[in-house]
Chains A and B, each alone.
Chain A
Amino acid sequence: MSFTREFEIVGGDFASAGRVSTEIKAMLRGIGYPPDVIRRTAIASYEAEMNTVMYARRGSVRLGLEPGVIHLVFADEGPGIPDIGLAMQEGFSTATDEMRERGFGAGMGLPNIQRNADRLEITSEVGRGTRLDITVLTDEEAGR
């Protein structure tokens, strides 16, 4: 048994930013994952969604569920990340002043995803876009 579902994310649409993560969270709740797994996945997925909304023209996320594993693949058409190592540092942000005024871009996006996920792979091409591969392990034995 496996499950996949794809969602679209519109760049710059701050009004509905976070909706995809809310939907994903509702699905995880329906499956009955432990609260801690839902919390970590929710934070990672929300941060990744916000990054897409903030920087990209458009993007998508594919949610994949298999025994023991939650998979989130965020892929966007956007500016890409020139130096992934730098972006992974706490506090680093390229958010514009307007974004900051709206309370976004505190520079905790990628490291925060890293902290909450069990695995994070970033591939990016400047001028083309970014792909985040997020894995959360669901501790099947403990959860059942």
Chain B
Amino acid sequence: MTSRLQSRTLRIDPDRCSGHMSCVRVCPVEAIRAWHGKAEMLSGRCIDCGLCIRVCKSGAITPRQGSMPDLKRFRHTVAIPSPALYAQFGRDVTPAQIIAALKRVGFDEVADMTPACEAVLLSIQRMVQERRSEGPLISPHCPTVVRLIQVRHPSLLPLLAPVETPQEVMAQAIRTHRAKVLGLRRDQIAIFHITPCPAKASDLKYHTHHQASQLDGAVAISQIYGEVKRALASRESDMGNVQNGVSGPCLGWALVGGQGGSIETGNSIAVGGLESVIRTLEDIENGKLHDVDYVECRSCREGCVDGCLTVENLYEARNKLVHLIRRRGSQIDPTSPSVRDLTERSDLILSKPVEPRPSQTLDSDRARAIEKMQRMEDLCARLPGIDCAACGAPTCRAFAEDVVQGRVEEASCPLMLQQRLRKTVADLSAILDQLPRPPGGGEGEGKS
């Protein structure tokens, strides 16, 4: 049958998979099948949302993450934490303490994303204010949402704000600056993103925006949590010379609505959770929402703080950020030199548009695709239509697609098989009824 590649971001362990189909049903792009009692991924479809990781009862689905990098291999190592990291470790531990602890874990330098977040937000604000064409601008900062648009709503790609992610902007600026100041080659500096989700990690390898990422690797918050926690406990009072600089707009980056809260737009909306995101994208595609000028879409319900690689209770973590933002304010200071430097960088704005990734197309030849669609319709009309998922596909429609694409046989639908068996039994019995009773035996009424 067809190739069965796994997702580039997630790994399914067949030994741990107990085949209870939660992942098959939850996947928003119908990328998972369980044809042989074990979950597997259709290639090219996964958008790295991590919903399957959350619902898997047997822990069989894990992000493909490398081991902790060996920091001693590099001349200068830098960690760029997602602001979601500062939401961890309890209400009393400040971002500055977390940054100090990260250094004790072994990074030579920890760069807070404040200037990059603020520069990116200011660029978005300018784009929204200068925009004259139809439809709202869409935030490009949740990689899962970008992939969803590539796969499912390619007509919305021109609405994505052409801005780089703050972690990329930050990494680029740091590498250039440190290479000069420390007298190192650019490749002697290693920069790691501390990430709340597998999508941001895979974004480094398969960067949606340009060819090569400026980041050398990603470390999951859950992966480094223990070490940071120990570092916090061991020398809690030693703050080194860390400034308490993480700003409100930067912290807000980890929350749904955090972006719109820091920039001036006419009418921006913030949407959290894939189901709501899909509904909103459908609305934009249908030509609704013409009064909205900016849409911030996040795959996770509460934003990055809700990423599936975070550790603390979501609502406690969220509260901590809200509290910090209230104290630090959500205003951006556009005159701050570090923000101004970054705003002027040309690499902040993307030069190339994000390409579509049409993985849901039935055939590259359109005439054949139309024919397959008709066969799918005909088959759907005969299927029970109850989406029981017993065949291993999430819906009867997805099953019909699998049959038309030659991935499975029609008889893999247990209800269709039962129907066919019943009919065969009835046919056989009708034939038997027509045969003369054998001499001296046979039960039931024969026909005369």
Contacts and interface: CB of A to CB of B under 8 A. Distances in A.
Decide if A and B are genuine partners. Answer: yes
A32 B368 CA distance: 11
B155 A143 contact: no
Given A36-B155, A42-B287, A46-B287, 20 more contacts: A1-B367, A2-B370, A2-B374, A3-B370, A3-B374, A5-B377, A22-B282, A29-B152, A30-B361, A30-B369, A31-B361, A31-B362, A31-B370, A33-B366, A35-B155, A35-B356, A39-B155, A65-B373, A140-B366, A144-B366
Interface string A89-120: 00000000000000000000000100000000
B105 interface: no
B373 A31 contact: yes
Interface in B366-419: 366-371, 373-374, 376-377, 401
A39 B152 contact: no
A32 B151 CA distance: 11
Interface in B315-371: 356, 358, 360-371
Given A42-B155, A67-B366, A30 B356 contact: no
Interface residues of B, number: 28
Contact of B157 (A22, A25, A35): A35
Interface residues of A, number: 30
A38 interface: yes
A103 B365 CA distance: 40
A76 to B, nearest CB: 19
A67 B287 CA distance: 26
B286 A21 contact: yes
A18 interface: yes
B285 interface: yes
B273 interface: no
A117 B282 CA distance: 19
B261 interface: no
Contacts of A35: 154-155, 157, 356
9 contacts: A1-B374, A5-B377, A21-B286, A25-B285, A30-B362, A35-B154, A42-B155, A42-B286, A43-B287
Given A1-B370, A3-B374, A32 B363 contact: yes
Interface centre among A1, A21, A27, A47 (most CB of B within 10 A): A1
Contacts of A66: 370
A3 B286 contact: no
A27 B373 contact: yes
A3 B155 CA distance: 23
Closest 5 CB pairs of A and B: A32-B361, A39-B155, A35-B155, A46-B286, A35-B154
Contacts of B285: 25, 39, 42-43
Contacts of A1: 367-368, 370-371, 374
B358 A43 contact: no
Classify the interface of chain A: helix, strand, loop or mixed.
helix
A29 B361 contact: yes
Interface string A41-80: 0110011000000000000000001110000000000000
Interface in B280-304: 282, 285-288
A65 B373 CA distance: 10
Given A31-B361, A144-B365, A112 B287 contact: yes
Contacts of A42: 155, 285-287
Contacts of A43: 285-287
A67 B367 CA distance: 7
Interface string A108-144: 0000100000000000000000000000001010011
Contacts of A39: 155, 285
Nearest to A32: B361
Nearest to B278: A22
Nearest to B360: A29
A122 to B, nearest CB: 19
A47 B288 CA distance: 10
Contacts of B361: 29-32
Nearest to A5: B377
A15 to B, nearest CB: 13
Given A29-B361, A35-B154, A3 B377 contact: yes
Nearest to A22: B282
A140 B365 CA distance: 10
